[in-house]
Amino acid sequence: MSEKKIVTRMAPSPTGEFHIGGMRTLLFNWAFAKKNNGNFIVRIEDTDRARLVEGATERLLEVVTDYGFSWDQGPEVGGDHAPYVQSERLDLYKRHALDLVSDGKAYYCFCTSERLDQMREEQKKKGITSTKYDGHCLHLTDDQVAKHLSENTPFVIRLKVPNNRVISWVDGVLGKVSFNSNEIDDQILLKSDGFPTYHLGVVVDDHLMEVTHVMRGNEWLPSTPKHILLYEAFGWEIPMHLHLPNLKELGSNQKLSKRHGPVSARGFLDEGYLAEALVNYLMFLGWNPGTEKEIYSLDEFVQDFTLEKIHKADLVAFDRKKLEWYNGQYIQLISDSELSKRLKPFAHKDASEEILNSIAPLVKGRIKKLSEFAGMTNFYFETSIVDHTLFSENSKDHVNAAYKALSALDDWLLETINEVLMNVVTNHSFKTGEFFMNLRVSITGQKISPPINESLIILGKDEVISRLEAIIKVV
């Protein structure tokens, strides 16, 4: 008998921007499928209609692609189990929910929202903090149910959860996990609007799409016993469940916060992080190869990735400084021409391809994020207002000497500029660092910039002399 094909999936909800933690989970699912010559599925779980955000599905798929991932089955590519958007599969969920009712594993509930609110308030008065459905409709007779249905009374379908039963499974990361069924509500499976809840939709789809490994963040751990009960009610094989540590801000137990920077996958790209650097960093959020190796291509990660090396932890720290380090490494790894292309969205509106090609090599070792590029290089395209407090006390002598030497040049070449400016330093007994810092401030308006002599070449003699003349009048 042939071994079952490995199938993993990522099933985001289009209720906003895709979280960076979701991208980490997607990476692990994708890598495990690829390592085992399996299939990776993307499925859109859009059944929470109240929180649905227009255009979010398209942005989700776009950002996954921008991070370098593709899927074997799902939206835009199709597959044997299409459609891959839950709102297009409603009849399927209803049929399965009704099958459970017929088998006595689920039941109709006709309780109004007013009755449910009152029930919860009464439970809270009794000191019950985690309120549960009281099973009122579980005890309706067949005739009462038939009467409600004939009168088109709105209903939901609830799972019949057994009393005081220990539900256990072996988690692929955490090991043996157990819950008592008394902690579990009679979950709604089908809502009154005909849409499934998350619990019904995910179990039906994972089964029909032949998912073998359900790998998700550990915030979903309390949902797993509910899903196991559903698998058992349907008589289906239960896939392996694996719960990954969630992400937290470094130095606290708080989830990622916009106060510290981006939290969405798109936000990090917009901030100027390279997708390759982000993916490399995400590899280490809950996994470690057990070696000193830190720079991984996707192919290398697939080769080394094993479930045994996933951390058995609740939380892992998201170190934004470490991510910046990775990004700086990748900026230096890519070619100058590729960096020039990546910088275009972050550059001054007047930046041509030619000038970007000239500047890219100069900033390669100086920026950690592409978003830093504009602040460092806008002086190429517009004259800055110089803050005179940036000058040292010898600035007037420095600027005048540089102006005279550069004005006299006929050959505006880097070698010539290097030579003549060093002669200025030597002949006037200037301090080298102080002289070039004052020259940098005169030309760029800032203390940090790409190499100043190379920048003089890019700006051209006329522009450089013009800027020095303006500074001489006020320095």
Tens-place pLDDT, residues 93-118:
999 999 999 999 999 999 999 999 99
Longest pairwise C-alpha distance within the chain: 107
> What are the residue ranges spanned by the domains of the chain?
383-475
Give the model confidence (pLDDT) of 355-388 as tens digits. 999 999 999 999 999 999 999 999 999 987 888 8
List, in sequence order, every residue forming a beta bridge with 448; answer none if it has no partner: none
Q: What is the distance between the alpha carbons of residues 281 and 283, in angstroms, rounded to a whole number?
A: 5
CB 199 within 8 A of CB 227: yes
Under 8 Å between Cβ of 360 and 340: yes
How is domain 383-475 classified at the architecture level of CATH? Orthogonal Bundle (1.10)
Condensed to tens digits (0 to 9), the pLDDT of residues 8-21 reads 999 999 999 999 99
C-alpha–C-alpha distance, residues 25 and 10, integer Å? 8
pLDDT over threshold 70, residue 250: yes
Distance CA 406, CA 424 (A): 10
Least confident stretch, 67-71, 162-166, 234-238, 385-389: 385-389
Per-residue model confidence as pLDDT tens digits over 160-184: 999 999 999 999 999 999 999 999 9
Q: Which tens digits make up the pLDDT trace of 306-328? A: 999 999 999 999 999 999 999 99
d(CA 201, CA 81): 14
The predicted pLDDT at position 207 comes to 98
Whether 1 has a pLDDT exceeding 50, the answer reads no
Q: Report the C-alpha gap between 222 and 198 in whole angstroms.
A: 13
What's the chain's average pLDDT?
A: 96
Is 258 noted as a catalytic residue in this protein? yes
Asked if 157 and 126 touch (Cβ cutoff 8 Å), the reply is no
Find out whether 271 and 369 touch, Cβ atoms under 8 Å. yes
Q: What is the pLDDT of residues 283-303, one digit of tens each?
A: 999 999 999 999 999 999 999
pLDDT at 2: 55
Q: Pick the catalytic residue from 258, 321, 349, 473.
A: 258
Give the C-alpha separation, 245 to 287, whole Å: 10
For the segment 256-264, the average pLDDT, to the nearest whole number, is 92
Q: What pTM value is reported for the model?
A: 0.93
Quick one: angle between helices 320-333 and 275-283, nearest 10? 130
